[in-house]
Structure 1
């Protein structure tokens, strides 16, 4: 089993990057890989509820994050710095996440077998 870390650093809409990252996370977990998600920079915006992507012609996939526990994806981290930048609280997120600092993120990236950035 590989330890895969997927980093979300782009906003949720305007391109398919974050949606592809979520699809990849679910696919990897379905093949029994250990998956850790990390939200940094603009990626923290993927965790906010009540988005209306249909107004810009995009598909709403944010609710799909709620399926993570069904795929045994339990390690979902958010960079403290990104949360502070966007004034996002843990209670604002659509799923349960763990607030972490940069040294913890660095450690995870160093110990992962594979790192993918979306």
Structure 2
């Protein structure tokens, strides 16, 4: 079993990058790969609850993050510094995530067989 880490670095709307990252993570997990998700930089915005993407003509894929446990994706991390830089905290997140400092994120990335950045 490969250890795959998917890093979300971009805001959820305006491009398909984050949606593609989520699709890739779910697909990888369905093939019994160990998948870890890490949200950094503007990627932390994917975690915000109560988004209304339909108002800007986008599809609401953010709710799909709630399906992660169904795919056995249990390691979901967020960069604590990225949250703080955007005046956010864990209470703003729609799903349960574990905050990590940048050094811990680096250590987590080193555990992966493959890292994909979206």
**TM-score category by the smaller chain?**
over 0.9
2:67 maps to which residue?
67
Deviation at 1:90, TM superposition (A): 1.0
The residue correspondences of 1:86-105 to structure 2 (distance < 5 A) are: 86-105=86-105
Deviation at 1:68, TM superposition (A): 0.2
SS in structure 2 at match of 1:6: strand
Deviation at 1:23, TM superposition (A): 0.5
> Structure 2 CA distance, aligned partners of 1:34 and 1:45?
24
Q: Unaligned 5+ residue runs, structure 1?
A: none
> Structure 1 CA distance, aligned partners of 2:55 and 2:90?
26
> Structure 2 CA distance, aligned partners of 1:35 and 1:87?
28
2:16 maps to which residue?
16
Deviation at 1:92, TM superposition (A): 1.3
Q: Unaligned 5+ residue runs, structure 2?
A: none
Corresponding residue pairs, total: 118
> Structure 2 CA distance, aligned partners of 1:87 and 1:95?
18
When normalised by structure 2's length, the TM-score is 0.97
Root-mean-square deviation (CA, aligned residues, Å) is 0.7
